[in-house]
Structure 1
Amino acid sequence: MPGAGTRTATTTSNPPARLLDLTRLISRVGRGALTGVDRVELAYLRHLSAEPVPLFLLVKTPLGYLLLPDGSGPDVLSRIDEGRPWGALDPLGRVRRRGSLEYRQALAYLRRNAVARCRRTGLARMLRQHVPAGTSVFNVGHSNLDDTTLGALREIEGAKISVLLHDAIPLDFPQYVAKGQPEVFLDKLSAVARYADRVIYSAESTQKDLARHLRHRLPAVIAPLGVEPLIPEALPADLTPDRPYYVILGTIEARKNHDLLLDVWEAMGPSPETPALYVLGRRGWRNDDVLQRLDAMKAAGYPLIERSALEDGPLATLLKGSRGLLFPSFAEGFGLPPLEAAALSVPVLASNIPVMSETLPEFPVYLSPDDPYSWRQVIEAWSVARPTLRLPDNLPDWEGHFRIVLSKAKGA
């Protein structure tokens, strides 16, 4: 497997090795565009793979755990980032047909290149055998926050475990998540409290939200997530706009509040003067009424264009040409789409929720997520004349995030 190549150090007090849990990102292979949390795990893979510190990758699969050795990061990254093929199925992949072909090929690749593998009960022993004492562990995808995985990682002598918690939405807004998820998430927080050495938060408001639910107070670091520059590329022919338009970006789920925008578009009517709305994101959960309404309005001729998956290049082009990004969400852990829009100088109309005013204080126009009348007024005004808004002085970037995360505690 290729080595890591030239790497640039972030801190002079490096640990003997790092280990990144890559379970979430691998589970997304073959399932379309990455979500916000997926992108965070990908950013960690990119950055830690380029550091001079040895990096191990841990992946939980349906059959157990796989441990990939130092030097694996760049090769795995090229297959996720650049679309390099994962290679042929192995005998196990041909027998077990659960998941997409690409996902099964990814698992076969991981099995071929793993330095070790084990069933659930052998994880602690495998880690002690292959991972150096004092290793710094990162879990940033909300996967494997349980006694089995974190408890085994804790048995690595001198290990330092950092967990990035993205939000408290399952506990503070249970009406927006799948049944049973609040209980599962509370169990995850309990495991974090038992085994983690520190928690990483992307915003102060997120730390305050989660502090109400963590049983023990853990050392914390606040490191805003980075905004990746989106490079515009040509649009598919079926997405070429024929009128002024807006974009809403994100999974179609209840907390994203697509319902408010459907109210606005219904009030404006299906006329040629009505601006278009590009609804970009896969269909989520507990949102059947909104999905049925969206389908009915599209069939009735409203200018609503839905696309479940769109590559970053065409997405950047759509955003850049729009009258604005609409972000009427009821709850967010960080809210990356408004920051990505701001980086492209695209106006943002957003909900007045605490995390938005923290991460992007003066750039958006803020409105209540319960006031479709005011949203319609602004949307109609921007359709006539796109506003010129003062760009934020400093958008967060990944270099800044990792400068905080890898230097705040010795040995990270």
Structure 2
Amino acid sequence: MDRVEAAYLKALIADPVPVFGLIRTSLGYLLLDPAVLTIFAQQLRGVSPFPPTGILSGMHRNVTTEVRQALSSARRLAIGRVAPWGLPKLLERHLPPGFAYLNVGHSNLTDRVFRAVKSVSGAHISVLIHDAIPLDFPQFQRPNTVRPFEEKLRRAQAHADLIIYNSADTKRRAEAHMQSWGTVPNGVVAHLGTTISEPDASKLPPGLSPTEPYFVTVGTIEPRKNHAFLLDLWAQMGPAAPLLLICGNRGWNNREVFDQLDGLSATSRVKEVNDLSDAALSRLVAGAQGLLFPSHAEGFGLPAIEALTLGTPVFCNDIETFREILGEKAVYATVSDSYLWLSTIEAWTTRSHAKREKIRFDAPKWDDHFKTVLRLT
């Protein structure tokens, strides 16, 4: 979701309508006006450095150095700082009647924030829902996360004037839950845009520049992504298998997969690769025989979109989200059909890049997304 938040921040700063930033901290809330929000956005993008951290930065424990620097800078830039109970007065003091509140990151979906926003006359609330996966597939979630997600969606339902969905599948699934709880807010589907990092081989870690045919799978290593399925396929293929690069950081509830990855030898046909820069990951995806995406569920499936945009074939599980977003540009097979997966991987392994069909994929664009969203918020 970080990329989505970054895209929204960039678009709203560029828009002629003034944009303010609301930040929750462990001490309360900060409000940034349009001028300082632009400065803060440049710091977040690395265009300009964060200033030295202040004394209060020590209050933020269990966060990265970058987060501590960002919070310290935001405190200095803020035009208003309040304890949690002071949020309504902060918003009433600085924001005009009828302002629009956009929440696009599944965070701050609290009664306190929503009620504070609504305390300003005519304020309009829009919330972006990325998926309903925790409710539809609770077996894949981290412990103690399903109920909090349901509570967030219930609060969005209770307070939002508009809910934005990244896909029609997400809309259908989320609204099915909300219908069982009460009135469903107005909703709109707006596919997320895609920003591709230019492939750069110089950004690859030492020793990671495959010269043989290889496949990639991209995403956090957690049960929903179904890495276990790919590891089983590679075990069936044995030493003759092509190289598989599993690109992503380790997630949760996946001990058997982690144990298999920990047991990989230097000569294994599977390699785990993590902490790649966007440019390095783009290079690996662009050079692959194909992106494999056997995920059980997705809200949008950004890695597949990025792969097709780079001209790399995509082979994925046959689920509604992929059909909606990728259309006929991907190859589909259910994960119950191991034979079709094996035969397709074998065929793609020997196919040269020069001879494979040119992929012409019209990826969703951020301009189209914001044309849909901003006229309604």
TM-score range, shorter chain: over 0.9
2:253 to 265, 286, 293: 286
Deviations 1:107-155 (A, max 9, x none): 1101100111112211112111111111111101000112111121121
1:397 equivalent in structure 2:
365
- Relative to its length, the structure with more helix (as a share) is 2
Distance change (3 Å), C-alpha of 1:266 and 1:227? same
The 1-side partners of 2:92 and 2:371 are apart by 29
2:356 to 377, 388, 400: 388
| 8 Å CA contact 1:276, 1:303 repeated in 2 | yes
1:116 to 73, 76, 80: 80
TM-score (norm 1): 0.86
Which piece of structure 1 moves more, 123-132 or 77-86?
A: 77-86
1:185 equivalent in structure 2:
149
2:113 equivalent in structure 1:
149
Q: CA deviation at 1:233?
A: 1.1
1:268 equivalent in structure 2:
237
Aligned length: 370
Q: Map of 1:7-406 to 2, 5 A cutoff?
A: 37-82=1-46, 84-94=48-58, 96-214=60-178, 215-234=182-201, 235-269=204-238, 271=239, 273-296=240-263, 298-299=264-265, 301-386=267-352, 388-389=356-357, 391-392=359-360, 394-406=362-374
* Paired residue secondary structure (1:238): coil
1:3 equivalent in structure 2:
none
* Paired residue secondary structure (1:326): strand
Q: CA deviation at 1:301?
A: 3.2
Q: CA deviation at 1:390?
A: 5.6
Q: CA deviation at 1:279?
A: 1.2
Which piece of structure 1 moves more, 122-131 or 73-82?
A: 73-82
The 1-side partners of 2:60 and 2:334 are apart by 49
Distance change (3 Å), C-alpha of 1:363 and 1:111? same
Name the amino acid aligned to 1:305: K
* Paired residue secondary structure (2:327): coil
* Paired residue secondary structure (2:90): helix
Unaligned runs of 5+ in 2: none
Unaligned runs of 5+ in 1: 1-36
Name the amino acid aligned to 2:125: I
Q: CA deviation at 1:268?
A: 1.7
| 8 Å CA contact 1:363, 1:389 repeated in 2 | no
* Paired residue secondary structure (1:138): strand
Name the amino acid aligned to 1:320: A
| 8 Å CA contact 1:139, 1:164 repeated in 2 | yes
| 8 Å CA contact 2:92, 2:119 repeated in 1 | yes
* Paired residue secondary structure (1:67): strand
The 2-side partners of 1:186 and 1:102 are apart by 30
TM-score (norm 2): 0.94
RMSD over aligned CA atoms reads: 1.6
